[in-house]
Structure 1
C-alpha cells in the first residue's frame, strides 16, 4: 500500500511515497521517516539508476536544502534531464558543475554526450578530448572515447565562430618606435627626424571577425572542405582600416579514424584604408593525426602568389611550412608547440626574406566558468639585400609576440560570451626605421558553434 512520508532532519521537507523506503512504513496510512541528507542522496541515486525519475524528483528537490551536495544534486538533475530529452537543461546543469569543478571527468563525459545528442559535435569533441587525458579512466572507457571522437570528427559538417568588440591600440599604423633614424649620405650617416605621419599613432578600433567551415562528405573516406575566415578592424578616419578575408576549398582524405590529409586551393584579399592592398592565390596541403590521451600533431605547407597594389616590389611568391603538437595537460588545459619556416621571393630583393620561428602556448578551463590562456613566440627574419638608404648591410630582425587571454564562458548574452585579450608585438631590427612596439587590448563578445 502506498502512503505519504515526511522527510525531516536536515531537509525537513515533505515528500510523496517511494518504493525505496516503503519498508520503513509497513503500516497503512501516513507515517514520518527521518532521513539525513546523505540518506536522501543515496536513495535519489538509487532511484535515478533504476530510471524511476518521477519518484526521484521530490528527493532531488529536497536536496536543495543540503548545499554540501550541490554538485551531486546538479549531476543527477542533469542526468535525468538528458535521459528524458531535456538536453538544454542537462547541458546547463553539467556546465554549471564544470564552472566550479573543471576536473570532474564523469561530468565532462555526460556533457559531451548531451552535446552530441544536441548535434553540437565540435563542442562535444572538445570535452571528450579533455576527458581522455584522465589516466584513471578504465581502458574500455578510454577506448570508447577514442572511437567516439573519431566518429564525431567524421560526421562534423560545419562550424563557425563570430566575434566583435573594441580594441585600444598603441600603434595602429605599425610605425617605428624611433623619433629619428640614420640614413646613408656620402661616406657616412645623417640623422633625420621623423614627421608626425611616420610616427606611431594610437587609436581604438572596432573589430569583427568570422571563421567558419563546411565539410561535405563525398564517400566514407573523402570529403570536400570549404573554409572562410574574415577579420576587420575599423578606425576613425578610415586611413588605417584593415580588412582581410581568405577562402580555401579542396578535398580531404581520411586514412583512418585518426589520420587525415587535405589539399585546398586558396584565395586571399586584403584591403587597407579601404583600398585594395594585396591579392593572393595558391594552394595549401595539410595532414594531422590524433594520438592517445588528447594529443594531436599536424603539419601544413602552403604556396601562394601575391599581387601587391601599392608597389610591384612586393609582388612574388610565398612558401611556408608549419608544424604543431598539442596535448592535454591535467584534465582541463591544452598546451601547444609550433615551429614554422617561411620564404618570401618578391620582385624587390630588399623585401625578399626568410623567416624561422617557434611559439608556445597553454590554455584551458578554470573554476567559475573562466577560460584563460597565454602564448608567446619569436622568430628570426633575414632579408636578401640591403636597403642602401639605411645601411650597406641587409636587414635582420628579431620578432617577438605575446598574448594573454581571459574569457567568461559561463556568461552568455544572446549566445555571446565576453573575453579580454592583451597582445604584444615587437620587432628589433638593425634598421631603426623598422624597430616597432605594439600593445593592444581587445574587449570582445564571441559566439562559438
Structure 2
C-alpha cells in the first residue's frame, strides 16, 4: 500500500468512526522518511484526537512534533494554540499565537482570525492544572551566610551550625489547579489553588506554602483584566511561619502582532507567626513585555517595585529591580535563560546591627524541557540556578547554587 493509499484508508476509517484503525494508520504514516508525509499524518491525527476523540493533550504532542521539524508551519502553531486553550494553558496559547504571527506567513484574513482568538480565550478548559516533581540538590537550602561570626553593636557573635549555610538534597514539588466558570459572554469567575514545597530528610528546613485565590476574569476587546484575592499560608521547619491575605489586578494588552504588555498591581497583609515586629502590609507593581522574535525564539522583560510596611521600621523596606528571559526551541528541546537583579533598602537599622539593611541580589538560571522523551504529556526537565545576595548585614549575605531534575505535566 502506497502512502497515498494509506492516507485514504486512514481518512475513510476516521470518517466511519473507526478511530482506533485510523490512529494506527496515521501513526504508521508518521514514521515515513519523507518529512511532508509524516507531518501531514501527524496533523490529521492531531485534529482527529482533539475534535473527534476529546484528547487535546495527545493532539498537542503530535503538533509539537511537527513544529520540531517545521518550526515555520504557521497553521500548525495556530492549532497548537487552540489545543493549549482547550487545556487551559492560556499563556502558552498566547505565545503560540505570537509565534504564528512572527512567521510572516499568515494571510490578512487569517491574521484577523488570530487576533480574534487571541482576545477570545473565553472558551478555555473549565478545569485543569499542572504538577512538577523534582530532585533538588542545593548548596544553601536555608539561604544563610557561610561566615562563622556575625557583627553586632555589642560585638561579634559566633553563629551556630544551624544559622550557617547548609547543603542538601531535597524533593521539590509544585502543583496548581484551577476552575473557570462562565458568568457571561465576556466574564468568567476564576478560582486557583497553588502549592509548593521543598522537603528534606530531617524536616528542619522544610519550606512549603499554599495559596488560594478567586476573582473575575474580564475580556474587553483585545484586553484581558483579572481580579483575584484570597488567603495564603507558609510553613518552615514543619511549623507555621506566616499567614496572609491579599489581592491583585492583572491587565494584559497585545502591542502589535508579536508583543504583549502585562501589568500587575498587588496588595497583601502578612502576619508573621514567629516575630510580631515583621507583621507587614506589602504593595507591589509590575510591568512586563513578552515578544516572539521568530517562530522558535522569543523573550521578555519586566520591572518591579514593592513596598513593605512593617511594625518595626527595620523590617520595612523598598525593593526594586528587573528581570529578563530568552527562550529558544532547538529540535525537541526548549531552552530558557533568565536573569534578575533586585535592590532592597530598609527604612532604618535594626537595634542589633550597626547599619541598616541594604541588599543587592543577583540571580541567573538555565532550564531545559526535553519533549523528545515525553510520555502522555509528562516530560523531563532540568533547571540550574545561581544566586548571590550581597548585604550590609552579614546574616543576610549569602550565595547559592541549586538544580532541579524532574518531571512536569499539565492536566
Q: TM-score band, normalised by the shorter chain? A: 0.7 to 0.9
- Picking from 359, 375, 400, the partner of 2:338 is 375
Task: Please list the CA deviations of residues 131-178 of structure 1 after superposition, one character each: whole Å capped at 9, or x if unmatched.
Answer: 122223222222222222233345443331101111001111111132
Note if contact 1:74-1:94 (Cα within 8 Å) is conserved in structure 2. Answer: no
- Aligned CA distance change for structure 1 residues 282 and 83 (closer, same or farther; 3 Å): closer
2:380 maps to 1:418: yes
Correspondent of 1:120 among 64, 87, 93: 87
Instruction: Write the distance in 2 (CA, Å) between the matches of 1:66 and 1:416.
Output: 25
Aligned-pair CA distance for 1:197: 2.1
Q: Separation in 1 of the partners of 2:266 and 2:144?
A: 29
CA change 1:318–1:66 in 2 (3 A) is closer
CA distance in 2, matches of 1:374, 1:61: 34
Partner in structure 2 of residue 283 of structure 1: 247
CA distance in 2, matches of 1:322, 1:65: 47
Distance between the aligned counterparts of 2:135 and 2:28, measured in 1? 46
Q: Deviations over 1:24-76 (max 9, x none)?
A: xxxxxxxxxxxxxxxx88x999x89x99999xx9x999989973x2x101122
Q: Secondary structure of the residue that 2:39 maps to in structure 1?
A: helix
Q: Which residue of 1 aligns with 2:168?
A: 203
Q: Which stretch of the first structure deviates more once superposed, 423-432 or 290-299?
A: 290-299
| Alignment correspondent of 1:301 | 265
1:292 and 2:259 correspond: no
Q: What SS class does the counterpart of residue 238 from structure 1 fall into?
A: coil
Residue 64 of structure 2 is matched in structure 1 by 95
1:318 aligns with 2:287: no
Mapped to 1, the partners of 2:402 and 2:63 lie a distance apart of 35
Contact 1:334 1:363 in 2 (8 A): yes
Distance in structure 2 (CA, Å) of the matches to 1:209 and 1:322: 23
Question: What do the CA deviations read for 1:57-108 (whole angstroms, capped 9, x no partner)?
Answer: 9x999989973x2x10112223443566578686554332322333333433
Structure 1 residues 31-46: aligned runs within 5 Å: none
- Cα 1:93–1:194 shift into 2, 3 Å: closer
- Which structure has the larger Rg? 1
Equivalent residue, structure 2, for 1:235: 200
Q: Hey, what does 2:133 align to over in structure 1?
A: 164
Quote the offset at 1:112 in angstroms. Answer: 4.5
- In the superposition, the TM-score normalised over structure 1's length comes to 0.79
2:40 matches 1:76: yes
8 Å contact from structure 2 (residues 95, 292) kept in 1: no
The 2-side partners of 1:377 and 1:213 are apart by 29
Can you give the 5+ residue segments of structure 2 that lack an aligned partner in the other structure? 16-21
Figure out how many residues of one structure are paired with residues of the other and give that number. Answer: 395
Q: How does 1:41-440 map to 2 (within 5 A)?
A: 67=33, 69=34, 71-81=35-45, 85=52, 91-112=60-81, 115=83, 119-120=86-87, 122=89, 126-185=95-154, 190-256=155-221, 258-367=222-331, 369-391=332-354, 393-440=355-402
In structure 2, what is the Cα distance between the partners aligned to 1:75 and 1:300? 40
Q: What is the distance in 2 between the residues matched to 1:417 and 1:52?
A: 31
RMSD: 3.1
Deviations 1:201-257 (A, max 9, x none): 01111111112222211011221111111101111111111110111111222222x
Give secondary structure in 2 for the equivalent of 1:142.
helix
Contact 1:242 1:272 in 2 (8 A): yes
CA distance in 1, matches of 2:269, 2:27: 65
Provide closer, same or farther for how the CA distance between residues 284 and 395 of structure 1 changes in structure 2, counting only shifts above 3 A. Answer: same
Q: How many angstroms does 1:348 deviate by?
A: 1.5
- The 1:442–1:61 alpha-carbon spacing in structure 2 relative to 1, beyond 3 Å, is closer
Instruction: Work out whether residues 97 and 118 of structure 2, in 8 Å CA contact, stay in contact via their aligned partners in 1.
Output: yes
Q: 1:61 to 1:94 in 2, by over 3 A?
A: closer
CA distance in 1, matches of 2:30, 2:247: 58
| Aligned CA distance change for structure 1 residues 209 and 363 (closer, same or farther; 3 Å) | same
Would the alpha carbon gap of residues 168 and 80 (structure 1) be closer, same or farther in structure 2, given more than 3 Å must change? closer
SS in 2 for 1:293: coil
